[in-house]
Chain A
Amino acid sequence: MADRAGPSDGRRHRRGRGLWLYTAMLLPGTAWMSIFFISALVVMVLLSFGTTDELGNPHFGTTLANISRILDGVYFTAILHSLVYAVCSSVICLVVSYPVAYVIARHGGRYKHALLGLLVAPFFANYLIRMYGWQTLLSDEGPLLNALHHMGVPSTFHLINTQGAVIAGLAYGYIIFMVLPLYAAMERMDPAIIEAGRDLYGSALRTFLTVTVPASSGGAYAGLALVFLPSVGDFVSNDLLGGPGTVMVGNLIQDKFFDGQDWPLGSALSLVLMVLLLLFLSAYVRHNARQAKEVQL
């Protein structure tokens, strides 16, 4: 805090040129965000209260009908699916990524960056393409099921078009967003504190639980948020790997915009989803703030 002289002090000395310059530098970014981000968002919010004509063209309006349609059951089932699948995939990502990030950060040595590069490489391929790959992999006559059948798994057992396939697809799709923050957190961790734990006669497990886990928890929380948020809104995984019982809210939104030609309802669904996610996000931010305060104390 000490290095921040009260901003008003600084400003008093340098009105005029400096002020103008900094404002000018802000312009491009502000304009970009305003045009492409905020205005799109405003259109979406406004359209949530809109109507459609006979051709399916959207019109702005002031009706609450779209919001009230959503409150009617089935949409909530889809939102619930999305939330549950997103939580499951985030947890799977955490469980899978933690040891991976740990090994690379703590024992990767001079191969650290190469290993990280290898992990990132598959994600250069488009998400959609990777999901198509999974579709083939999991299909009834695909390699995985063929192998399982040979091992005696009954032929009525399917992988594709199940909840498990959707969750696995999501986890695979976004796992890199878990690995990277975890790696960053563990990489920053001072090995001396682990040694200190051992010096204080902590067992390996105890040291891990009381030293390593808390020190990397920031990365874990960031990873959970980064995986959870895009998973909730995802529709590709369910589209390609899901079945009739796994519709997610992203699918409904996509449906309303493309096939259903009901942009206002699609917008209203997006709005409801956004409000829900904002609630989650604010809980996350508040949790982080509280933790930061505890660390300072």
Chain B
Amino acid sequence: MNSTPYTPTRRQVLTAGAGLGAAMALAGCGLGSDTGGAVKADRAVKAEVDGDLVYFNWADYLDPSVLKGFKKKYGVKIITSNYDSMESMQAKMSAGNRYDVIFPSAQWVEKLAAAGQLLRIDHSLVPNSTLIFDHYRTFADPWYDANSAHSIPFSMYKTGLAWRKDKLGDQLTGSWNDLWNRKAKKQTYLLDDRDEVLGMLALLLDFPLNTAKPAHLEAMVQKASTLRPYLRGFSSTDYRNLLSGNAWIQQTWSGDMAAVLNNADDPSIYGFESPKEGTPVNSDCYAIPANAAHPGTALLFINYLLEPENVIKNMQYIGYPMPVHGTEKAYEKIVADFPECKVTLSDLSDELYFDDGSVAQTRRRSDAWTSIKVG
């Protein structure tokens, strides 16, 4: 009899476990309620070395030889981290990680600056920035950041259509309607990107690019459903789809197109067009988080990257044009055979920029996007 073990009843175990679990969960209730603590977005910073550079960027989005040059010139180390999406970049910053320089897209500059997470940048501390602001007036007061107060533009790109000339012919009609191509049935891809797909549909239907009106969204979902018979997938690896031959026509970013052309065995089989209804334009930027530990080094770094010779190296490496005076000719050379990949001042002046609305508007757009994807 003595050996009969003590067995707590099932209820006891469950209650104890659930109680402890709930306690743990509630203890963690700070989730997302505080992002960054007391950081000052406009503290005074000097452009001088104040420590090693903590660098946070997409992988492979700068020429390594340029980074090496900076290390050598200023005698600092570069501690590198990479993100694979803007969302994960933001999540890591919100978790309290401290970086000195980041490369957010225009939309994310807007969001992060509004949330007080970006340091104000005094342009006089980045002397090379005049190469941008004096020549590319759009960026002196861009759509995403009043007076470029928290950011400096890094690269530009636009969204167009890439196609296989050997399968679909040398010329298409120069419209987003080219996606509805019988010959490209089941060889057609859209970007796996809410704003790009909704934007393309809005342009076709002559709605505002960032519309969140229920009636507009409904019409866009309807329009998208007519593309389904042709559609092979939603994929943002536009570059890979084109090179592998799965895509005959694909909604594509201009910089990725430049990369396709540089890597293809026979670049002449690819075409790229900027549809006449409009091509969304976007920009990635340099920015310094408000809680950066070494903002001085970061300012030096940005200025160094804006030296025209470094800009040219980076453009050659990543394929994206940069709005820096004195580098235009070099980019023309890179895309000599494919001038459609260029982002021109007139592209910028069309003001087709993605913009974030209110939480409710974003939610409506997300729901429409889900409807399009699920079909």
A244/B5 in contact, CB under 8 A: no
> Contacts A42-B22, A141-B245 given: A53-B6 contact, CB under 8 Å?
no
Of B1, B22, B228, B232, the residue contacting A39 (CB under 8 A) is B22
Indicate if B33 sits at the interface (CB-CB under 8 A): yes
Indicate if B367 sits at the interface (CB-CB under 8 A): yes
A43/B374 in contact, CB under 8 A: no
> Contacts A34-B21, A244-B234 given: A55-B111 contact, CB under 8 Å?
yes
Indicate if A31 sits at the interface (CB-CB under 8 A): yes
B374/A39 in contact, CB under 8 A: no
Residue of B nearest to A11 (CB): B6
CA A244 to CA B359, docked complex, whole Å: 27
Within 8 A of A (CB), among B54-106: 85, 87-88, 90, 94
Indicate if A258 sits at the interface (CB-CB under 8 A): yes
CA A265 to CA B87, docked complex, whole Å: 16
Of A34, A43, A245, the residue contacting B28 (CB under 8 A) is A43
> Contacts A74-B371, A244-B373 given: A259-B4 contact, CB under 8 Å?
no
B17/A30 in contact, CB under 8 A: yes
Task: Tell me the smallest distance from the CB of B7 to a CB of chain A, in Å.
Answer: 6
Tally of B interface residues using CB under 8 Å: 55
Indicate if B35 sits at the interface (CB-CB under 8 A): yes
> Contacts A57-B32, A140-B246 given: A38-B21 contact, CB under 8 Å?
yes
Segment among A18-26, A109-117, A189-197, A229-237 that sits at the interface with chain B: A18-26
Across-interface contacts of B22 in A (CB, < 8 A):
38-39, 42
Residue of A nearest to B112 (CB): A55
Within 8 A of B (CB), among A1-55: 5, 7, 9-11, 13-14, 18-19, 22-23, 26, 30-31, 33-35, 37-43, 46-47, 51-55
Indicate if A202 sits at the interface (CB-CB under 8 A): no
B373/A247 in contact, CB under 8 A: yes
B85/A258 in contact, CB under 8 A: yes
Between A and B, 11 residue pairs with Cβ closer than 8 Å are A10-B1, A10-B2, A10-B5, A26-B13, A35-B21, A38-B22, A43-B25, A74-B370, A77-B375, A244-B232, A261-B87
Q: Which B residues form the contact surface with A (CB < 8 A)? A: 1-2, 4-8, 13, 16-18, 20-26, 28-29, 31-33, 35, 85, 87-88, 90, 94, 111-112, 114-115, 185-186, 194, 228, 231-234, 244-246, 356, 359, 363, 366-367, 369-371, 373-375
Apart from A9-B4, A161-B232, 4 more pairs, CB < 8 Å: A39-B25, A55-B112, A60-B31, A261-B87
